[in-house]
């Protein structure tokens, strides 16, 4: 009998969430972000559910290679390429590339390879990858011989919709818009790409030619308080209780005794741990659902197991556990445990069985 720990992934919910996003920005093309194995959901299955996408985004050349094993859809590599061999690989597999440093442009010039689309990254404040304002026009001039389609893109550093976030995002967008207008006055022709999930969900005026949703496709409203968007839950992580122990008042549970019983208690042992992607700091902060009741995770999460304090004594070995899902949002758990939904999703290891439903 296999371990009773499974991520149940509803592919129809992913398709539904895509439609919600598309309907919000109908004039924009949508490049769906499927990096990190589609945020842990399984890239092959997710791409099939996102058939309406105009293109897809991955982070690395390695991810692009895996993608090309099963799909010829337009594919953007967000980190571009690292050396001349990667550049040749990208050309052979007809990838779209993000260009974010001068070394990449120099390699491109030496190679004389042309691409269907090149994306010029404008650093409007993230201060990570990309060219600053003063370099953009020169870099666009240098890219034009190698592609008939240039996309000017930027990346939002804070798009949660909170007051400070809105201020920062509007500053980035204003700089992007001003620079775009100046470039068009100089007769440059290009497309634009600005918004990630936060930009789409939390702002009504950040539309560009191509949007790049990621987290929202997988059902997370993280940082979004508006009732306008009704995204569907995608993943339900389930397991079962494999043992129940009686703990007397004053006894501790788990490594280093980080939880001590304040009264005689019943605890359940669940076969999932940090090797499966459960955060190490989940103990004494997070909780699960058992028989529709909350059960607090106690003590230190171990590699393969974690303990929960049972809410009542009418629970038996073999009882179903929901670690997150429709009734227990991953967004809520992320806030409780000082994490982000991305880390919950992408950390689910390969040994957690995936079950796909449509």
Cβ(194)–Cβ(213) below 8 Å: no
Any alpha helices (H) in the chain, and if so which ranges? 11-24, 35-39, 43-49, 61-67, 84-92, 102-111, 136-143, 163-185, 197-202, 330-336, 341-347
DSSP string computed for 27-42: TSEEEEE-HHHHHTT-
Cβ(28)–Cβ(16) below 8 Å: no
The count of C-alpha atoms lying within 13 angstroms of the C-alpha of 182, restricted to the half-sphere facing its C-beta, is 12
Q: Any idea what the Cα angle at residue 110 is, between residues 107 and 113, rounded to 5°?
A: 90
Distances (CA, A) of 147 to 27, 87, 182, 268: 23, 14, 21, 60
Catalytic sites, residue numbers: 35, 255
Q: Could you give phi then psi for residue 274, rounded to 5 degrees? A: -70, -20
List Cβ neighbours of 146 (8 Å cut-off, separation of 6 or more).
108, 109, 112, 113, 114, 115, 118
């Amino acid at each position: 009998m296999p371990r009773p720990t499974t991520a149940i992934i509803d592919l129809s919910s992913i398709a539904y969430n895509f439609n919600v996003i598309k309907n919000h920005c109908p004039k924009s093309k949508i490049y769906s972000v499927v990096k990190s194995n589609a945020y842990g959901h399984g890239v092959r299955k997710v791409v099939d559910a996102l058939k309406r996408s105009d293109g897809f985004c991955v982070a690395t050349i390695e991810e692009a290679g895996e993608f090309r094993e099963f799909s010829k859809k337009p594919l953007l590599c967000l980190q571009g390429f690292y050396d001349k061999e990667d550049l040749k690989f990208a050309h052979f597999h007809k990838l779209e590339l993000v260009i974010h440093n001068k070394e990449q442009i120099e390699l491109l010039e030496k190679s004389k390879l042309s691409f269907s689309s090149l994306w010029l990254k404008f650093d409007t404040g993230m201060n990570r990858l990309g060219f600053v304002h003063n370099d953009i026009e020169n870099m666009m001039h240098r890219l034009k011989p190698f592609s008939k389609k240039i996309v000017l893109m930027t990346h939002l550093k804070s798009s949660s919709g909170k007051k400070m976030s809105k201020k920062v995002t509007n500053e980035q967008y204003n700089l992007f818009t001003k620079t775009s207008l100046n470039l068009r006055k100089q007769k440059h022709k290009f497309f634009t790409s600005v918004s990630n999930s936060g930009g789409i969900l939390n702002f009504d005026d950040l539309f560009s030619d191509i949007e790049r949703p990621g987290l929202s496709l997988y059902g997370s409203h993280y940082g979004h308080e508006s009732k306008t968007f009704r995204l569907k839950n995608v993943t339900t992580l389930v397991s079962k209780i494999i043992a129940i122990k009686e703990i007397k008042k004053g006894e501790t549970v788990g490594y280093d005794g980080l939880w001590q019983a304040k009264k005689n208690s019943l605890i359940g042992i669940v076969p999932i741990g940090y090797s499966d992607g459960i955060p190490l700091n989940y103990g004494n902060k997070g909780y699960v659902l058992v028989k529709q009741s909350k059960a607090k995770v106690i003590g230190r999460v171990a590699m393969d197991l974690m303990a929960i304090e049972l809410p009542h004594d009418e629970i038996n070995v073999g009882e179903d556990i929901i670690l997150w899902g429709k009734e227990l949002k991953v967004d809520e758990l992320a806030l409780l445990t000082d994490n982000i939904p991305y880390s919950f999703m992408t950390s689910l290891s390969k040994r957690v069985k995936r079950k796909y439903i449509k």
